[in-house]
């Protein structure tokens, strides 16, 4: 492991605990993203790795070396900030070369490294310009280059793309992914943008309220969220959540959503899920999670299908989303007052149409209503 955080806590006085009991192992060469809303503790965690914040409790190791109390300049990490943090009176070349000159490297090696990084990042044509003469994307690449040219053990990146417009952010995201695949330097990346995390990361750590809730690959945290918060935070549009109950009969284990005044949902659980719930779940009250793309819209009723009406359609190019209302839906829908299901733009559904919903059999999520943790 390149970076190991053990039982890390960061408190500011007695009133605010920013990070609580965090344990994390980041593998050599991986792109690891800390994801969560503003104020969740992700940037504080990054700054503790960098040595810009002192830990209250716990230890930090980099390449097996305990750096908990080692000054930032001696940790061999390079940070890229949300602000470009370039010296405005220096040229691009001078910004890239500064840290190497401070280290006392030979002039020829400094020049070779600067030219290599500038070519890699496609800023070799602007080396004589100052930051004020560059576009936002060029300035961001210079900030990345200043970190890369140092050849550190670890890159630490704090929302480096958030100041860019959407198109430039997407382009720079692609460049960053390719750059990491070429260099394979361990990268710890902080963002609140779940799309960015899913595209860039080898693994993602989802944080909320100072705690690390789940660590896993992009597909894992999306399709098998550890709790309701992770399920809601990852995915756009966000997951549908309904109050449900388990129902057992001789034919297996079922999950039921009862809607006052309407046709409810009844869905037989796969055998493996049923066995896990039968062995480890003490009560029947559940929250059922279904992603919009996993809600199948049917034009006819059938036992177990959920009756709904189409409120309106949101076209999104290659896909559309149906906003759906349930009779008595306030009693069963959580977090919002409607359901969302993906639909084919080539198969239009008129507003006000009566439809019936059923989930894909193997693509549902179940959460304990009391704790919010995933079950089954």
Least-confidence region, from 146-160, 189-203, 250-264? 250-264
Res. 281: pLDDT tops 80: no
- Looking at residue 66, its pLDDT comes to 97
Res. 179: pLDDT tops 60: yes
> Which of the four pLDDT bands, split at 50, 70 and 90, describes residue 46?
very high
> Which of the four pLDDT bands, split at 50, 70 and 90, describes residue 37?
very high
pTM of the model: 0.89
Phi, psi for 73 (deg, rounded to 5): -70, -15
From the CB of residue 233, how many other CB atoms can be counted at a distance below 10 Å? Answer: 24
Q: What angle do CA 47, 155, 38 make, to 5 degrees?
A: 45
From the CB of residue 370, how many other CB atoms can be counted at a distance below 10 Å? Answer: 10
Res. 305: pLDDT tops 60: yes
> In the chain, pLDDT over 90 holds for what percent of residues?
64
Res. 38: pLDDT tops 90: yes
Res. 279: pLDDT tops 70: no
SS3 call for 234: coil
Res. 283: pLDDT tops 70: no
- Looking at residue 287, its pLDDT comes to 95
C-alpha 274/C-alpha 265 separation (Å) is 17
Residues 171-181 have a mean pLDDT of 85
Residues 153-173 have a mean pLDDT of 85
- Looking at residue 298, its pLDDT comes to 94
SS3 call for 284: coil
Cβ 254 vs Cβ 266: under 8 Å: yes
Question: Over the stretch 339-363, which tens digit does the pLDDT of each residue have?
Answer: 999 999 988 899 999 999 999 878 8
Pairing, β 364-368 against β 285-290:
antiparallel
Residues 106-126 have a mean pLDDT of 90
> Which of the four pLDDT bands, split at 50, 70 and 90, describes residue 186?
very high
Res. 314: pLDDT tops 90: yes
Question: Over the stretch 86-105, which tens digit does the pLDDT of each residue have?
Answer: 899 999 999 999 989 988 99
> Which of the four pLDDT bands, split at 50, 70 and 90, describes residue 328?
confident
Residues 6+ apart with CB under 8 A from 316: none
- Looking at residue 136, its pLDDT comes to 82
Residues 6+ apart with CB under 8 A from 97: 110, 111, 114, 149
- Looking at residue 330, its pLDDT comes to 81
- Looking at residue 163, its pLDDT comes to 75
Least-confidence region, from 33-42, 184-193, 246-255? 246-255
Residues 291-301 have a mean pLDDT of 94
Res. 280: pLDDT tops 70: no
C-alpha 188/C-alpha 201 separation (Å) is 9
């Amino acid at each position: 492991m390149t970076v190991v955080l053990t039982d890390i806590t960061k408190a500011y006085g007695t009133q605010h605990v920013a990070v609580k009991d965090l344990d994390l192992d980041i593998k050599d060469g991986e792109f690891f993203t800390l994801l969560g809303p503003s104020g969740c503790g992700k940037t504080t965690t990054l700054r503790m790795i960098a040595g810009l914040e002192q830990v209250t409790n716990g230890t930090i190791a980099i390449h097996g070396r305990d750096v908990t109390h080692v000054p930032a300049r001696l940790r061999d990490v390079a940070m890229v900030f949300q602000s470009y943090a370039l010296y405005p009176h220096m040229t691009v070349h001078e910004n890239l070369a500064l840290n190497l000159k401070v280290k006392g490297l030979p002039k020829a090696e400094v020049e070779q490294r600067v030219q290599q990084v500038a070519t890699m990042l496609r800023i070799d044509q602007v080396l004589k310009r100052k930051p004020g003469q560059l576009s936002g994307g060029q300035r961001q690449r210079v900030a990345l280059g200043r970190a890369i040219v140092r050849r550190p053990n670890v890159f630490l990146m704090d929302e480096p793309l958030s100041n860019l417009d959407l198109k430039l952010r997407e382009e720079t995201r692609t460049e960053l992914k390719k750059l990491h695949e070429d260099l394979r330097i361990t990268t710890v990346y902080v963002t609140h943008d779940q799309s960015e995390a899913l595209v860039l990361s080898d693994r993602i750590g989802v944080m909320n309220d100072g705690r690390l809730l789940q660590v896993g690959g992009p597909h894992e945290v999306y399709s098998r969220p550890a709790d309701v918060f992770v399920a809601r935070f990852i995915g756009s549009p966000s997951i549908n959540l309904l109050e449900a109950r388990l129902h057992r009969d001789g034919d297996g284990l079922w999950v039921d959503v009862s809607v006052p005044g309407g046709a409810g949902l009844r869905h037989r659980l796969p055998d493996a899920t049923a066995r896990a719930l039968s062995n480890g779940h003490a009560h029947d009250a559940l929250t059922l999670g279904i992603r919009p793309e996993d809600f199948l819209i049917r034009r006819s009723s059938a036992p177990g299908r959920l009756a709904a009406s189409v409120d309106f359609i949101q076209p999104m190019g290659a896909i559309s989303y149906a906003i759906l209302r349930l009779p008595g839906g306030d009693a069963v829908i959580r977090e919002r007052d409607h359901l969302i299901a993906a639909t084919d733009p080539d198969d239009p559904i008129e507003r006000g149409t009566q439809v019936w919903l059923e989930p894909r059999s193997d693509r549902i999520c179940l959460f304990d209503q009391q704790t919010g943790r995933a079950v089954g």
